[in-house]
Amino acid sequence: AQTVTQSQPEMSVQEAETVTLSCTYDTSENNYYLFWYKQPPSRQMILVIRQEAYKQQNATENRFSVNFQKAAKSFSLKISDSQLGDTAMYFCAWTGANSKLTFGKGITLSVRP
């Protein structure tokens, strides 16, 4: 079965500092996509970053970057220069041949002023 594990239920970071959110996944497929989504308290799920499994280069989007370790099936998200607006629940997700997203349980990130 395809699974996504986010073992940290919550984290806290000081504004302007860097934080890393962990995610591991399990799949037997070779071609797949990994995502981090952000869900603020308003509940709109927003795409943060995406990684294609066939690409060795780690994806980056402004202050957000990933550390993708395919052999270890690890996909962590690094947020640099944390801002108050980064406070949200963050979900790691996976999709493969069946098109549907499989999500982890999420991690609540709080950015302290």
Partner 1 sequence: GAGVSQSPRYKVAKRGQDVALRCDPISGHVSLFWYQQALGQGPEFLTYFQNEAQLDKSGLPSDRFFAERPEGSVSTLKIQRTQQEDSAVYLCASSFSEETQYFGPGTRLLVL
Q: Residue numbers of the site for partner 1 (CB under 8 A)?
A: 4, 33, 35, 37, 42-47, 50, 52, 91, 93, 95, 98-106
- Number of DSSP helices (H) and strands (E) in the chain, helices first: 0, 12
Minimum Å gap between C-beta 21 and partner 1 is 14
Nearer to partner 1, 11 or 45 (CB): 45
Q: Which is nearer to partner 1, 16 or 97 (CB)?
A: 97
Of 17 and 40, which CB lies nearer to partner 1 in the complex structure? 40
Task: Give the integer Cα–Cα distance in Å for 106 and 109.
Answer: 10
Tell me how far, at minimum, the Cβ of 33 lies from partner 1, in Å.
5
Shortest CB 43 distance to partner 1, Å: 5
- The token duo for 29 is 């497929």
CB 18 within 8 A of CB 82: yes
Q: Cα(17)–Cα(71) distance, rounded to whole angstroms? A: 29
